[in-house]
Amino acid sequence: MKVAILIAVRLKSTRLPRKALEKIGSQTLIEHLIDRLKKCKKADEIILCTSTHPDDQILLRYAEKKGIKIFAGSEEDVLERFIKAAESVNADVIVRVTGDNPLTDPEYIDRMIEKQRETNAEYVYTEGLPRGTKAEVMTVDALRKAHELAYDPNQSEYMTLYFKTNFFKVEKVEADESVKRPGYRLTIDTPEDLNLMREIEKKLGKDLYEIKLKEIIELLDKNPELRKINLSVRPRNIGKEIVKTCEGPKIKITIKDNE
C-alpha cells in the first residue's frame, strides 16, 4: 500500500489573508508544516495540493524548494482535487492535512496509518488532540465513493462529514492523556492564532517544526496566559448549523445561519 500525505492549502482566507505565507521565525507557515510532515515514518510521499487559481501558484514554489511533489486542481471540488492528486502518484491511502495547521502531529499520523493497515478501515481519525494538530487517513477508493455519494461535490471541504456516515468503515485513534487537550487551539485562522505560534516558538527556543506536541502541551499547561492569546477567537462556523443528511444514495450537507 502506498501512502501519500496531501496538504490542502490555498491563499484564499477571510480572517487572515495569505496566512500560509506568514512568517513564523525563519520560515513561512507552509514551510514549517512541510518540514514537520517529513518526520512521518509511514508515509511514502508528501504532495502540496492546491488549486489552479493564479493566486495559489506561488505555493508551488515553496513545495519545489522543499523537494515535495505538487498538484493543482479544482478550486471548489476538494474531493476531486484529492482523488486526482492521489492518482498522480498511484497512492492507495492518503493522509489529509490542512495548510493552516503547522503543528499537525507526525506521531499520530503514523498511528493512524498503522490503524488503517491493521483494520483495513476506509477512514481513520484521531480524537482528543488539540485543534490544529490532527489529520485524517482515508483510502483512495473511499475518496472516490464519497465523491459519488456527494449531493454537491463543491461542498466537499466538509470532507469529514461525508466519511462519518454508515457508508464507510471508520476507526478511531484515541489521544494519550498527556496530550489530550481538545480545548486547546493550535490552528492558524486569525492574527491571534499567529501570535500564539510565534510565542510558542520564542518560549521554547527552536523552530516550530522541531517542537514536539508534548513540549507545547507542557508549555501551555504551565502558562495559562499563553492560552489566553487566542482564547476569544470564535470558531469559523460558530452561528452556523451544518447538517448532514442522507437523501437516498446521496449525502447532503446543509449549512444554516443561526445568527
**DSSP letters spanning 83-148:** HHHHHHTT-SEEEEEETT-TT--HHHHHHHHHHHHHH--SEEEEESSPBTS--EEEEHHHHHHHHH
Query: Residue 170 is placed in which grid cell?
Result: 471508520
Residue 156 near residue 78 (C-beta atoms within 8 A): yes
Give the count of beta carbons closer than 10 Å to the beta carbon of residue 53.
12
Residue 5 near residue 39 (C-beta atoms within 8 A): no
209: domain CATH number?
3.90.550.10
Q: What's the total number of domains in the chain?
A: 1
Host domain of residue 212? 3-257
Local confidence pLDDT in tens for the 259 residues of the chain: 999 999 999 998 767 889 999 999 999 999 999 999 999 999 999 999 999 999 999 999 999 999 999 999 988 888 899 999 999 999 999 999 999 999 999 999 999 999 999 999 999 999 999 999 999 999 999 999 888 887 776 665 667 777 877 789 999 999 999 999 999 999 999 999 999 999 999 999 999 999 999 999 999 999 999 999 999 897 765 434 445 566 566 766 665 544 4
Identity at 38, one-letter amino acid code: K
CA distance linking residue 211 with residue 190, whole number of Å: 21
CA distances from 138 to 41, 144, 146, 239 (A): 17, 11, 11, 29
Non-local (6+) Cβ contacts of 35 within 8 A are 27, 66, 207, 209
The DSSP element (H or E) to which 58 belongs, if any, is: helix 57-66
CA distances from 136 to 12, 112, 253 (A): 22, 8, 19
pLDDT confidence of residue 14: 67
CA distances from 123 to 17, 99, 245 (A): 31, 20, 19
Predicted TM-score (pTM) of this structure? 0.90
CA distance linking residue 109 with residue 137, whole number of Å: 8
